[in-house]
Structure 1
Amino acid sequence: MLVLQCIIVASIILIAVYAGLYAFGAWRWKMAARSLVERLDASQGVARSARYDAAEIADLPVPVRRYFQLALTDGQAVVRSADLAATGTFNLSLDTAQWKPFTAQQHVTSDRPGFFWDATIMMFPGVPILVYDAYIAGEGLLHPSIFGLFALGDLRGTGDIARGELMRFLAEAVWYPTALLPSQGVTWTAVDDASAQATLTDGPISLTLLFRFGAEGLIASIHADARGGTLGGNIVTMPWECRMSNYQRTEGMCVPFTGEAAYTTPDGDKPYFRGTITQIAYQFAP
């Protein structure tokens, strides 16, 4: 009987400790996330243009012009910020398959490129990895943490990490497509009838991604020749690609609700993100 009582008491203590860690970690994480989102919003400048005018796409490469004709409505307001929610699976390693379920919230700004991605990845039942991935005022940030208390890494800076995060912003601009317009700072260069290059500059960073368009004219994939990723315990540059599908019309725009991201490693194509947008809310220029 005494042994059973000790087991019960120990179990209650463990449950209380777990609940305390979970609650404190969540609270601490929420405060840090709020601070970063406020910093992101404060980094915004004056909107470049408040309305989309179809005349601005007249001289763009044919597949790009066709895309904007499908994705946007002439005269519509430009997206200034967006809030997205997503669910899906995330592979914790490119070396071995470790797919785990995730939920995420993302806040995006477009007057100056920026985003804050706040995700919960369930490493094991009841054991969450909280992750924020961000590009704020020219700085890249990546911080994973168990329970929001025990850091698994902390990358931040204005070098390669910032460049990689700005790539993510540009690739994901299909979710807030007015950000891809020339009036919003993107330069388009013809490649062929089904692809074109998009160049975006923010401060000292200038990068170019290859956009490929599907048979229906919408963006099917976005490709970078080199983006940093972790392979074999080391950060290396590899070809990187986002694939978009399941386009739906919302707020006068046609955007994809399903996406996949992958690196091309020496062992072949390695997807690491598969997600579905569950909610999008836009804030438009007045």
Structure 2
Amino acid sequence: MKILLGLIGVVIAAVLCGSIWRVRVVERLRDTVLTDDLPSAAVPSLPPIIEAFAAKAGSVRGDLASQIAMSQSAEIRRGKGADFMMLTADHLASVGHTAFVWNARVPIGPFSAVRVIDSFTAGTGSLQVWLLGALRVGNATGPWLNKGEAMRYLAELPWFPDAILGNPALRWQVVYADRVRVSTSVGNEDVAVEFLFNAAGDIVEMHAKDRPDDVGGTTVLRDWRGYYRDYGEINGRRIPLSAEVGYDYPDGYEAYFFATVTDYTLTHRD
């Protein structure tokens, strides 16, 4: 009995230490994003269609937030044809720099069965998976992830209209009357996504080429697609309150992530 109790104590101690370490990891990543204040370089005039989108969202030059925090209720699956898992997530994005931290929880009852920390800070991507919120069982990094995470930041700009006006690292180009391309640099490589607008001037689709997809430890480049729906105002910004993303496979498109925005907070610098 003493041995059993001792083993239980060791496991509890390990879990507690792991949980403390995970919290510190999240705090460190969030601190990196939070130190990214609005840069002194002004963002030049943008194509009228994207300027109008930001204005319709409620973003105003000279009164932009420096960070945006968002909460989500979502579903995600690990690969093509896999089952979906329900999750909740907190998402923090920088307005003046290309940076974010996404902290997700997959619950079982009152417990967090899996924690996923997806981030892009200081030009580096990271994807960490924690079991029971305390034991790290995955930690992906590398150039392919840097590219994928930067593309994620670009694809989520409809959720962060202040970044459209406030991030000088973004480059915009009109492709067609209803289609705009936005790009940024990751190391020595440029990454880009394209947004498709409807007749009302809302971004309704995203398309991108060659986004990395991990398939059993092998990186495959696939066309990437997203859809934005249910535009509405939440805490001062008009944004799509639901969205999905997925990949184009040889037999067609399949989504792997659906999200609904449940809370939204703007942080202004003093």
Same fold (TM over 0.5): yes
Corresponding letter in the other structure for 1:147 = L
Q: Does 1:279 align with 2:270?
A: no
Corresponding letter in the other structure for 2:119 = A
How far the C-alpha of 1:191 sits from its partner, in A, is 1.9
- Farther off after superposition, 245-254 or 257-266: 245-254
- Farther off after superposition, 35-44 or 186-195: 35-44
Q: 1:196-235 alignment to 2 at 5 Å?
A: 196-201=180-185, 204-231=188-215, 233-235=217-219
How far the C-alpha of 1:113 sits from its partner, in A, is 1.1
How far the C-alpha of 1:238 sits from its partner, in A, is 0.4
Q: Does 1:170 align with 2:163?
A: no
Larger radius of gyration: 1
How far the C-alpha of 1:18 sits from its partner, in A, is 8.2
Deviations 1:13-36 (A, max 9, x none): 999898777655433321221122
Deviations 1:135-172 (A, max 9, x none): 00010111112123443321123x22111111111111
SS of equivalent residue, structure 1 residue 79: coil
- 2:26 equivalent among 4, 26, 33: 33
Q: Does 1:79 align with 2:79?
A: no
- Farther off after superposition, 276-285 or 193-202: 193-202
- 2:82 equivalent among 97, 103, 106: 97
- The equivalent of 2:227 in structure 1 is 243
- Alignment check: 8 A CA contact 2:98 2:167 kept: no
In 2, Cα distance between the equivalents of 1:124 and 1:262? Answer: 28
- Alignment check: 8 A CA contact 1:25 1:147 kept: no
In 2, Cα distance between the equivalents of 1:81 and 1:25? Answer: 28
- Alignment check: 8 A CA contact 2:91 2:100 kept: yes
SS of equivalent residue, structure 2 residue 96: coil
SS of equivalent residue, structure 2 residue 208: strand
- Alignment check: 8 A CA contact 1:121 1:130 kept: yes
TM-score, length-normalised on structure 1?
0.80
Distance verdict in 2 for CA 1:204–1:42, change over 3 Å: farther
Distance verdict in 2 for CA 1:19–1:183, change over 3 Å: closer
Distance verdict in 2 for CA 1:214–1:206, change over 3 Å: same
Q: Percent identity?
A: 23
- Farther off after superposition, 12-21 or 38-47: 12-21
- 1:56 equivalent among 34, 45, 51: 45
- Farther off after superposition, 274-283 or 40-49: 40-49
Distance verdict in 2 for CA 1:103–1:24, change over 3 Å: farther
SS of equivalent residue, structure 1 residue 148: coil
Aligned length: 268
In 1, Cα distance between the equivalents of 2:269 and 2:41? Answer: 10
In 2, Cα distance between the equivalents of 1:39 and 1:182? Answer: 18
In 1, Cα distance between the equivalents of 2:111 and 2:265? Answer: 30
- 2:178 equivalent among 184, 194, 198: 194
